[in-house]
Structure 1
């Protein structure tokens, strides 16, 4: 077993018994390596972001947070290419794209050499222009949607007029190359769609909210959201 195989096997072993721990001595015997080698491997896993933890004490040892990892997933070559294309096509400024490069590296590492080479060749042919959404704005919007918390935003309409809003986020919508934050605008007491590249500033409020379904935001929004031009009009109407 080479080191790469052993690293994957270590995670699988710890995940299989989580949340119970394994000692370094037990892992060393299991993989027929020295305790020092196991310590180096576990440290390497931690540095790459794998949620491997160490608990001290008589019944302590190393364990993995099962909520922070996924079990092994067997992808066909076609499925791997589909995932790779989606990751490569995610603009730097689109929601939740920050973790894309790390996910791509893990995908390539999990594939056989021929499949990994095909993935690298495919992603090398995909080119995306940088997005226009500011990183701090994107981070606040991502957290608001993921945590279901109220967001404060400073928004500019199509004419450049700005206004400040408090939004109860319901979700994100992509249409015709643009991303929108959908939610209940407290300032207008109505459902609104805010184009991310028009949000000039955003902050996460320490206030939870219950996401409203699109139909509850606007009875016609669910239908209109299927058409990019109508959605643009909805975003522009945020100035009223």
Structure 2
């Protein structure tokens, strides 16, 4: 493992361990280097601006200050490109615009060398995107979900029937390459899946959603899972 990669992995391990910290010996075993090398790496992280703390004695070790920002080394070029590719390939995903803005913030604070390497690598990753649905419609659905307010939609079903529905948003789901709004339909008095691509109009109301939960939708398919910030 190259040193820049080890520094990144080291900062990530310290961050995950939170206030517990890690001993230099444990870090050395984890990365297959000497304790002396680990301490040099920790010193390098600290000099680059990482909020590294140390605690002597039994149960002590090293860690990162809670809530503090990580230094530029906290993201590798490949990880930066992975984020860019994921956002570019899913422009129809819920909160995609916010994700793109978040990725841009990350790119803006990368050190120049890492940014240059990420830009070069990004040129080697191509994605084909599908036409996205109306930004106004997606914004209304996203707001309704986040604020848990009823969304009034004009919906055209597969058979061409158009109707107005008041829906309590419960979750967004991607199935077979298509995004759905899953929610409690007040017209049908039941949980329903609405293809976002067939929603002609969407407006957020001032009505607060009831207490319908994700569990009412049922178990996700075997190959589906909620998004989260953890690996695996």
Matched, 1:171 2:171: yes
- Closer, same or farther in 2 for the Cα pair 1:198/1:121, shift >3 Å? farther
- Aligned partner of 1:95 in structure 2 is 94
How many residue pairs align between the two structures?
154
Look up the SS of the partner of 1:202 in the other structure: strand
When the two structures are superposed, what TM-score results if normalisation uses the length of structure 2?
0.58
Give the conservation status (yes or no) of the 8 Å contact 2:85–2:127.
no
Give the conservation status (yes or no) of the 8 Å contact 1:154–1:163.
yes
- Aligned partner of 1:57 in structure 2 is none
User: For 2:112 and 2:163, how far apart are their aligned partners in 1?
Assistant: 53
> C-alpha displacement at 1:170, in angstroms?
0.6
- Closer, same or farther in 2 for the Cα pair 1:122/1:89, shift >3 Å? farther
**Residues 145-191 of structure 1: CA deviation (Å, up to 9, x unaligned):** 01110000111112222111110111111122211111101100110
Say what the alpha-carbon RMSD is for the aligned residues: 2.5
- Closer, same or farther in 2 for the Cα pair 1:211/1:83, shift >3 Å? farther
**5+ residue gaps, structure 2:** 1-66, 225-232
Give the conservation status (yes or no) of the 8 Å contact 1:140–1:151.
yes
When the two structures are superposed, what TM-score results if normalisation uses the length of structure 1?
0.56
- Report matched runs for 1:133-172 at 5 Å: 133-172=133-172
**5+ residue gaps, structure 1:** 1-69, 229-240
- Closer, same or farther in 2 for the Cα pair 1:211/1:115, shift >3 Å? farther
User: For 1:226 and 1:150, how far apart are their aligned partners in 2?
Assistant: 29
User: For 1:153 and 1:86, how far apart are their aligned partners in 2?
Assistant: 28
> C-alpha displacement at 1:120, in angstroms?
2.1
**Residues 91-120 of structure 1: CA deviation (Å, up to 9, x unaligned):** 1x4321123443233222222233212322
- Report matched runs for 1:176-187 at 5 Å: 176-187=176-187
Matched, 1:104 2:117: no
**More moved, 116-125 vs 185-194:** 116-125
- Aligned partner of 1:72 in structure 2 is 69
Give the conservation status (yes or no) of the 8 Å contact 2:185–2:192.
yes
